[in-house]
Structure 1
Amino acid sequence: MTVEFQITGERIAGTEALIRPHIRHTPVLRVDMADFGRAALPVDLKLELFQHSGSFKARGAFANLLTREIPGAGVVAASGGNHGAAVAYAAMRLGVPAAIFVPEVSPKAKTDRIRSYGAELVIGGQLYAEALAASEARATGTGALQIHAFNQPETLLGQGTLGKEIEADLPDIDTLLVAVGGGGLIGGIAGWFAGRVRIVAVEPEEAPTLHRALEAGEPVDAPAGGIAADSLAPKRVGTLMFPVAQAFVERSVLVSDEDIAAAQQALWDNVRVVAEPGGAAAFAALLSGKYIPAPGERVAVLVCGGNTTAVKFG
């Protein structure tokens, strides 16, 4: 596979300097797994769900809007919800028209957020792939700029700024657990660390996009179901991130829907963090025992999104 685009620390750092005025430096929370009914283990939660628009996606959205030429027709994006909300937010802040295409599985919490930022919202099919096709047709017909959720250089560089921020916050970690859908997030982060930290992918059993790709040696179609389908279930990972994953992602760990739901509830019950299914997936690997750290291993978990109303409050 030949991919001309290269994710480098220098390019990520340049992107970070450009978008920094528009994004938040999100907090880190140290927890002990003993508080979750597991063996004692200090774990750092990087709470990127507190980013503008409710997820890490704001980084990639601003990277696109600030580095690419925006036509008069504005921008168009397809999304399970978070990317769309981020593009809508960035477009609102920068005064750019935006049309966001989402599949029917997108939850109300996400579609409401997109509308709140003033973007045009279009329901484009049952799954992400259908929404993407509809958005591409709109871009072709209007001349609007298509902003891809994960398979776009600027998107990867923007998400990579989160890796830079995590290293500044937690310079001594051994392992970082990251949820994967299309792979823009883990691709950018792995590109930043370039092997300095063990990067472990976490995916739903019902949407194992990177898992299947690593087995096949190239991006291939995978199932696109489960409770995190609105954020972690494209048909396949991006071609731009895949060589990075091959080089710098140690493995892919699969978690069940039950694991993810339990992680969502545990985060709320113990630390009052409201994570969406995709945002809780990485923590689910640790809570369920699907990922077992070695003795003395310093582990960080990325909680990457919080656009949900699915947690039982009480």
Structure 2
Amino acid sequence: MTVTREQVEQAAVRIDGRVRRTPVLRVSETVTFKLELLQHVGSFKPRGMFNRLLAAKEDGSLTGVGAVTASGGNAGLAVAYAARELGVPARIFVPQNAPAAKVARLRTLDADVVQVGSEYAEAYAAAVVASEESGALFAHAYDQPEVVAGQGTLGLELLEQIDGFDTVLVAVGGGGLIAGIATAIGDRARVVSVEPELAPTLARALEAGGPIDVQVGGVAADSLGARRIGEIAFEVAVRQNITPVLVDEAAITAARQELWREYRLATEHGAATAYAALTSGAYKPAADERIVVVVCGANTDLGTLS
């Protein structure tokens, strides 16, 4: 599987009016934030899920049975939101340790929430079975062409919103977002993947020459906890020569607190991971390197910010 720039452009047309064109915030002479945490339901995920469901509606594979997905939270929120907007049911499988704030939000979107297992892989297996048994459309959290193409619309926006940039820092879990952005941007800028040291799915896949299962954990595991990088993301990472960077737990926590303290951006740990590459020095930019940091999610417990 792969995704092309043409598919991203088609996705942009398909989801126009369904998602927000999120703003950018210049925070220094060389650093700009892409505020994707302001997207519907608090993350970038509706871009891909609207594209998946709308494409399926066009070809007749989205029926009244609705859609099903597995998610640590944000993909589920996006499917629930898109399904509600399109008038079909949504059934969301999440791990039992999914954040309470995300589970509660799912229920406010009229989704049928099923909590299974202790990590994403177990919820995923249950969701696949449910889709096969019910005939519901399966929407993968990150490894379907329509999903990746939808996420890539964020990259198209960056090209329109910012007059030149050199590097984009993107947090990686399953890889749908970075694959879409890298496809949209092409050779116009470097794309850097940032992962927690305790969930290095893309970094380990690049070392091994292909996607492999890795142990995942840590503060960002609720949103960056995919055990294996997506096939599409791996293909794009190799094709686009994506640079991998790892950050530790302390760096992620400190970056999240700084985003709140200095910019009043309430982010989940996964969304702070890209910024942690800068604040910790894990990524060292060249002099005058123009950097975009994608701040991708806001579904967090506000009581943990200070």
> Could you say whether these structures have the same fold, taking a TM-score greater than 0.5 normalized by the shorter chain as the test?
yes
Q: Secondary structure at the match of 2:274?
A: helix
Instruction: Report the CA distance shift for 1:223/1:313 in structure 2 as closer, same or farther (over 3 A).
Output: closer
Question: Is residue 25 of structure 1 aligned with residue 21 of structure 2?
Answer: yes
Matches within 5 A, 1:58-97: 58-68=46-56, 69-97=61-89
Query: Any conservation in 1 of the 2:30–2:289 contact (CA below 8 Å)?
Result: no
Query: Any conservation in 2 of the 1:268–1:311 contact (CA below 8 Å)?
Result: no
Task: Give the % identical residues.
Answer: 51
Q: Secondary structure at the match of 1:194?
A: helix
Tell me which amino acid in the other structure corresponds to 1:50.
L
Deviations, residues 49-107 of structure 1 (Å, cap 9, x unaligned): 00001000000110011001212211100000000000000011110100000002211
Aligned twin of 2:264: 272
Aligned twin of 1:168: 160
**TM-score with structure 1 length normalisation?**
0.94
Tell me which amino acid in the other structure corresponds to 1:55.
S
Which aligned runs of 4 or more in structure 1 are off by greater than 6 angstroms? none
Deviations, residues 111-159 of structure 1 (Å, cap 9, x unaligned): 1111110000000110000000011111111111110001111101100
Query: Any conservation in 1 of the 2:30–2:288 contact (CA below 8 Å)?
Result: no
Deviations, residues 218-253 of structure 1 (Å, cap 9, x unaligned): 001112111111111111111122111112143111
Deviations, residues 154-193 of structure 1 (Å, cap 9, x unaligned): 1011001111011111140000000000000001111111
Query: Any conservation in 1 of the 2:220–2:270 contact (CA below 8 Å)?
Result: yes
Tell me which amino acid in the other structure corresponds to 2:94.
V
Question: Is residue 47 of structure 1 aligned with residue 35 of structure 2?
Answer: yes
Q: Distance in 2 between matches of 1:249 and 1:301?
A: 18
Alpha-carbon shift at residue 313 of structure 1 (Å): 4.4
Q: Is there any run of 5+ residues in structure 2 with no aligned partner, and where?
A: none
Question: Is residue 141 of structure 1 aligned with residue 141 of structure 2?
Answer: no
Question: Is residue 226 of structure 1 aligned with residue 218 of structure 2?
Answer: yes
**TM-score with structure 2 length normalisation?**
0.96
Q: Distance in 2 between matches of 1:54 and 1:128?
A: 19
Q: Distance in 2 between matches of 1:71 and 1:201?
A: 36
TM-align CA RMSD: 1.2
Aligned twin of 1:99: 91
Q: How many residues align?
A: 302
Q: Secondary structure at the match of 2:88?
A: coil
Q: Distance in 2 between matches of 1:87 and 1:280?
A: 23
Q: Distance in 1 between matches of 2:32 and 2:216?
A: 30
Q: Secondary structure at the match of 1:164?
A: helix
Alpha-carbon shift at residue 16 of structure 1 (Å): 0.4
Q: Distance in 1 between matches of 2:240 and 2:83?
A: 33
Q: Secondary structure at the match of 2:27?
A: strand
Q: Is there any run of 5+ residues in structure 1 with no aligned partner, and where?
A: 33-40
Q: Distance in 2 between matches of 1:240 and 1:264?
A: 29
Alpha-carbon shift at residue 311 of structure 1 (Å): 5.7
Q: Distance in 1 between matches of 2:121 and 2:6?
A: 32
Aligned twin of 1:292: 284
Instruction: Report the CA distance shift for 1:261/1:135 in structure 2 as closer, same or farther (over 3 A).
Output: same
Tell me which amino acid in the other structure corresponds to 1:136.
V
Query: Any conservation in 2 of the 1:276–1:310 contact (CA below 8 Å)?
Result: no
Question: Is residue 15 of structure 1 aligned with residue 11 of structure 2?
Answer: yes
Query: Any conservation in 1 of the 2:70–2:94 contact (CA below 8 Å)?
Result: yes
Q: Distance in 1 between matches of 2:304 and 2:26?
A: 23
Alpha-carbon shift at residue 109 of structure 1 (Å): 1.5
Instruction: Report the CA distance shift for 1:310/1:105 in structure 2 as closer, same or farther (over 3 A).
Output: farther
